[in-house]
Structure 1
C-alpha cells in the first residue's frame, strides 16, 4: 500500500497526535487548540468552496457541472449544500432535529436552503445527488459565505471544513480581499493543507489588476499568512458565464483548468487528509509553544525578578544589626538627657508658680483664702500632670528615634504608651482597666509604684487608706468626696487637710510656699523613678521591636526563597514541555517532508495554488 492509499490516521500520525494530547494534558489550562482528528470517511474528496457572499460560489459550481440552474444564484442561503454523486438525482435535507426531507425535484432546493425558505431556521445541511461521473471521486460543498469568523455564516462555513480534503477560495474581480476573508483563510489554514485560489466575475472587471492586488494583499499579511503556509500564491481566473455559454467558450473560461485541480485533489484525497491531520497537529503544537513562551516570559524566564527585593531585605537586616548594637550605647544617654529636660522644665514652672502666687497674694483679701487654696491644689496637680505628660512625650520620642526605619515602630510606641496610666485618668479607673486587680487594698494602691508617676504620693496614701482617714474604697472605686481623682490630687487634698485652714494671708503665703516646695521634691522624686521605669520599658520595647523586625525580615526572605523555588520549578517544567513540543514539531516536519516527497505534482507544495497556463480569452 502506497502513502497515497493510506488513511489520514496512519500509525505514525496517530502517535504524533497522542504525543501532543499528552503534552497538552501536562500543560493544563489549554483552550480547544487541538480539534478532533480527521476521519477521512469514504473515498471521496470533500472540496469546500468558500468566499464572501455574492462572489459567485454557486455560479462557479453550476459552471463546473454545466448546470446553470442547479444551485440558486443570488439567493441568501442559510446552510451549506453538498453536491455529490447519487442515483437517482434528488435532494436530501437534514434537519436540526435529526429528521430528513427527500425531494426528487432539484428545482425545489431554494425552498429548503434559502434564509427565508419554507424550512428557515430548521435546516442543518442539504445534499444534492447527481448522476455525474465527474463526482464519483469528489463532493463539492457550497457554503453561505465567510462573513467573518464571528458571523453566523462564518461559523457555518468553518463547520463545513470538518474532514474537508481541500479548499477552493473564491474572490470576485474588482473586490479587494477583505479582512473577514483573510481571517477565515488564516483559520482554515490551520487544518487545510491544499487551497486553490479562484478569481471569478472576470468578464465584468479588469481582472489582471485585481488578481495582482489580492495576491499582494495576502503576501503582505505575514501575521496571518507566514511564508511556510503559503508558497507561490496565485489565483486561477475563471469565467462562469463563458463556461455556460457554449462548448467553445467553455474551453476559454478557465473551468477546465479548475477541473484539473479538482481531479488532482480527488486522486490525492487520502494523501491530503494525512497532510491536513499533520497541519492540525502542527497548528496546535505552535499554539501550545506560544502559550508556554508567553507564560515563561511572564514568570521572568531565566531571571530573578525578586533579586532587588532580597537585596533590600539584606540591607534592612544589616541596618537592624547595626541598630541593635547602637541603641544600647545611646539609650542611657538619651534617657538622662530627657530627664534633665523634664526636671529643668519643672523647675521653671515651679519658679513661675511661686512668682504668680506672690503677685496674687500681694492684693489678696481674707475672703479669697478658700478660692486661693483651691487654686493652689489645682495648679499643683496640673504641674504634676504636665511633668507626667512631658515624660511620656520624651519616652515616645526616644523610642521613635531609636526605632526609625524599623517595621512596626509606631505600633511599638503605641504599646509602650498603653502600658502606663494616662496622666489624666483616675487611679480607680487605672486600677480597674489594668487587670488583674489585686484584692488587697494595700496591694492595690502600692501597685502604682510600678507605674511611671505617682509613686511617692501612693506611698503616702497607703497608711491613710488602711487607717480610714477620709478615703474609702467602695466596690473597688477610690473616691474622695464622691469624685475619682488622680493620685496627685488625692495627695494634695490630704496635704491641705492635715495642714489645717490658713486663717490669714500671711499663713496662706507660708502654706503655699511649703506646698510648692514639697510638691517640687515629690515630683522630682517621681521623675527620677519614672525615668528609671521608662528606661526599662524602653529597653524592652526597643529590644522586642528589633527582634520582631528581624524575624519579619527572616520570614520575608524565607517566603521569597520558597516563591523563587516554586517559580524555578515551574520554569523548569515549562522549559521541559517546550522541549517536548520542539521535538514533536521536528517529527511532524519530518513526516510532512516524507509525505510531500511521495506526492505527485501539483500537490507537492505546502499550501499551493494554481494558475491556468493560458489566461481566459
Structure 2
C-alpha cells in the first residue's frame, strides 16, 4: 500500500463531472465508448493516492533507463540493449521494495523478487519470446524519493514501428494514466509512427512532457530537438509550446559516482547536465496537482467530442441551406468513388512491389553479410597461430550473433519504411503487424559443436614412411657432421636429436593441418546453416508484412468507400428533398448546433478556470 498522501479534491471537480455527464447525455450514441471510458476514469479519480505518469515511446529509446535514473536505482527495471519490455511495469511508493506479477485469469498476483523483473516483464534476448507469456503486468513498490509525493511511473512496451500490438495495449492502458512522458531519441527526429501514436494518445490525455533521451550519445541533439518542434508544429500544433526535457541517464549516473568519490562539484555539474532535475520537478509538480491534471483530461476528451459533432453538424447545416455548391459536391463525390476503385488496384500493386523490393533488399543484404562473415573467418583461420585455432568457433558464434543483430536492425528499419510509406499515403494509422520481428531459427539458437577429426588415421606404412623421412634427415646431419669433425659419437648423438626434432615438427604440422581442416569444416557448416535457415525467416516476415498491408489497404478503402457512399446518398437526398422537409431539418439541426456550441463554451470556460498546464493547452 502506498504511503503517499491523497491529493485534495479540486474545487472545480463537481462542475467538471456535471459537464462531462451533460456532454454524454447531449451527444448520446455519438460519444465513442473510448471517450466515455476516458471521461469516467478522469472524473472518477478526482481524489486518489497517486498520479500516474505513463512513459511511452518506441523500443530502445531509453525509457527503462530513464525511469531507473528518476528512481535513483541503477538496474531496477531491465534496460539491457538486447532486452525489450513486453508488459507494463508500474512503480509506486512504499516503505520497502517489493514486486508482484499479475497473471492472465488469476485472481491474485504472485510475489516475485526484484531481481526477477527481467524474467517476468521482458522478452528473452536470445529466443525473442516472453519467458512468462501469461504475465499481463508487473507492479513494483519502492521507497524512491521521486515517488513520495504520490507519483506513479509506468514503463511501457515499445509502441512504434512494427509493434502495433504493443501500441494498442498501451492505448488501452491510457485510461489509467494522468499524463504522458513521451520519450524520443536524440539520434533522429520523430518518426511517422511516433507522431501517429502521439496524435491518437493525446485524444485522451491533455498533459504531455516530451523527453529527448540519450543526449550523451548524440552531440547533434539540439538540431534534433529543433526538428521535432517543427514536426509538432506541422502535425500536432497544440504541442508547440509543450515542454521538452533533454536528458542523459549516463551523465546522471556519472554524477552519482562522482558523489561517491567525494567530488561534490563534479557531481553537481554532472547532475545538472543530465537534465534529470528539471524533469523531476515537472513530474513532482504534476503529482502535487493530480486532481487538476485529471480534470484537464476530462475536459479535453469531452471538448474534443463536442467540437467534433459541432463541426460535422455545421457542415450538414451548410448543405441544408441549399448552398449552390451542394450539387457540385455530389458530382465530386461521384468522381471520388470512381477514382477509389482504380486507386484500390494501384495501392495493392504498390504493396506487392514494395514487398518484393523489401524481400530482395533484405536477402541481398543478408547474402553480403554472410559472404563478409565467411571471408572474415577464412582470414582469421589463415592468420591464426596454432594455439588460437581452438578459439575460432567461439569467435564464429559471436560473429553470428552480431550478424543477426544487424539483420534485425536492418529488417526493422526497412519494414518500418514500407509501413510508413503505405500508411502515410493512405493517411491512416498503421496496420496490425504483430509477429513481424525476425525470430532466430531454432537451429541457430545454439550453434553446433565443432566436429574434431581423428587425431591420427594413418596406416602402419604411413608411420614408417614418416619415420623414414625424419631418419634420413637425422642420418644426413650425422654424416655431414662426421665428415667435418672426423668424430663418430657426437655426430651420432646430434643425428638422433635431429631425427627426434624432425619427427616432432612433422607431427605438429600434421596436427595443425587437421585443426585447420576441423575449423574450416565447422565454419562452412555454420555458414551453410545460416544460408538455409535465415532466408526462410526473411521470407516469412516479408510475406506477413505484405499480407498485413494488403488487408489494411483493403479495409481502409472499403471504409472510405462506405463513407463516400453514405455521404453521396445523403447529398442526393438533399438535392431531391422538398423545401419544407429541408427547412424543418435545418431548423432542428441549427437548434442542436446552438446548444452544443453553448456546451462547448461552457467547457472552454472551465478549462480557463483550471490553473496552469504541464503540456500544451487541453
Please give the TM-score of this superposition, normalised by the length of structure 2: 0.51
SS class of match (1:34): helix
Deviation at 1:178, TM superposition (A): 1.1
The answer to whether 1:574 aligns with 2:589 is: yes
Greater Rg by CA: 1
Distance 1:140 1:57 in 2: 11
Deviation at 1:252, TM superposition (A): 2.4
Deviation at 1:246, TM superposition (A): 3.0
Distance 1:16 1:175 in 2: 42
The answer to whether 1:167 aligns with 2:184 is: no
Distance 1:45 1:107 in 2: 26
Instruction: Give the equivalent residue in structure 2 for 1:50.
Output: 56
Asked whether the 8 Å contact 1:8–1:270 carries over to 2, the reply is no
The answer to whether 1:240 aligns with 2:249 is: yes
Deviation at 1:34, TM superposition (A): 2.8
Instruction: Give the equivalent residue in structure 2 for 1:373.
Output: none
Asked whether the 8 Å contact 2:247–2:276 carries over to 1, the reply is yes
Q: Give deviations 1:450-499, integer Å, cap 9, x for gaps.
A: xxxxxxxxxxxxxxxxxxxxxxxxxxxxxxxxxxxxxxxxxxxxxxxxxx
**Alignment counterpart, residue 103 of structure 1, candidates 106, 111, 136:** 111
Instruction: Give the equivalent residue in structure 2 for 1:132.
Output: 144
Deviation at 1:10, TM superposition (A): 1.9
Q: Give deviations 1:303-359, integer Å, cap 9, x for gaps.
A: 489999xxxxxxxxxxxxxxxxxxxxxxxxxxxxxxxxxxxxxxxxxxxxxxxxxxx
Distance 1:178 1:141 in 2: 22
Instruction: Give the equivalent residue in structure 2 for 1:144.
Output: 157
The answer to whether 1:78 aligns with 2:86 is: yes
Instruction: Give the equivalent residue in structure 1 for 2:169.
Output: 156
Distance 2:197 2:102 in 1: 25
Distance 1:200 1:154 in 2: 20
Instruction: Give the equivalent residue in structure 1 for 2:474.
Output: none
Instruction: Give the equivalent residue in structure 1 for 2:35.
Output: 34
Q: How does 1:566-605 map to 2 (within 5 A)?
A: 566-596=581-611, 599=612, 603=614
Asked whether the 8 Å contact 1:143–1:160 carries over to 2, the reply is no
SS class of match (2:141): strand
Distance 2:109 2:159 in 1: 26
Cα distance change, pair 8–143 in 1 and its aligned pair in 2 (3 A)? farther
Deviation at 1:565, TM superposition (A): 3.1
Q: How does 1:228-267 map to 2 (within 5 A)?
A: 229-247=238-256, 248=267, 249-267=270-288
Asked whether the 8 Å contact 1:72–1:110 carries over to 2, the reply is yes
Distance 1:194 1:293 in 2: 29
Cα distance change, pair 64–306 in 1 and its aligned pair in 2 (3 A)? closer
Distance 1:194 1:12 in 2: 20
SS class of match (2:609): helix
**Alignment counterpart, residue 131 of structure 2, candidates 91, 113, 118:** 118
Identify, as 1 or 2, the structure richer in helix: 2
Distance 1:230 1:170 in 2: 14
Q: Give deviations 1:389-447, integer Å, cap 9, x for gaps.
A: xxxxxxxxxxxxxxxxxxxxxxxxxxxxxxxxxxxxxxxxxxxxxxxxxxxxxxxxxxx
**Alignment counterpart, residue 19 of structure 1, candidates 12, 19, 22:** 22
Deviation at 1:61, TM superposition (A): 0.4
Q: Give deviations 1:61-117, integer Å, cap 9, x for gaps.
A: 011112221111132222111011124322111222143443341010111122423
**Alignment counterpart, residue 293 of structure 1, candidates 314, 326, 332:** 314
RMSD: 2.9
Instruction: Give the equivalent residue in structure 1 for 2:617.
Output: 606
Distance 1:107 1:79 in 2: 16
The answer to whether 1:270 aligns with 2:291 is: yes
Cα distance change, pair 245–100 in 1 and its aligned pair in 2 (3 A)? farther
Distance 1:214 1:113 in 2: 31
Distance 2:36 2:575 in 1: 40
Asked whether the 8 Å contact 2:94–2:142 carries over to 1, the reply is yes
Distance 1:294 1:110 in 2: 53
Distance 1:31 1:130 in 2: 37
Distance 1:202 1:560 in 2: 60
Cα distance change, pair 99–78 in 1 and its aligned pair in 2 (3 A)? farther
Query: Which stretch of structure 1 is more off in the superposition, 140-149 or 123-132?
Result: 140-149
Asked whether the 8 Å contact 1:55–1:171 carries over to 2, the reply is yes
Instruction: Give the equivalent residue in structure 2 for 1:183.
Output: 196
Instruction: Give the equivalent residue in structure 2 for 1:216.
Output: 230
Please give the TM-score of this superposition, normalised by the length of structure 1: 0.51
Unaligned runs of 5+ in 1: 309-558, 608-617
Instruction: Give the equivalent residue in structure 1 for 2:554.
Output: none
Asked whether the 8 Å contact 1:23–1:577 carries over to 2, the reply is no
Query: Which stretch of structure 1 is more off in the superposition, 201-210 or 247-256?
Result: 247-256
Q: How does 1:534-549 map to 2 (within 5 A)?
A: none
Distance 2:114 2:95 in 1: 13
**Alignment counterpart, residue 88 of structure 1, candidates 82, 96, 119:** 96
Asked whether the 8 Å contact 1:215–1:233 carries over to 2, the reply is no
Deviation at 1:244, TM superposition (A): 1.6
Distance 1:604 1:105 in 2: 36
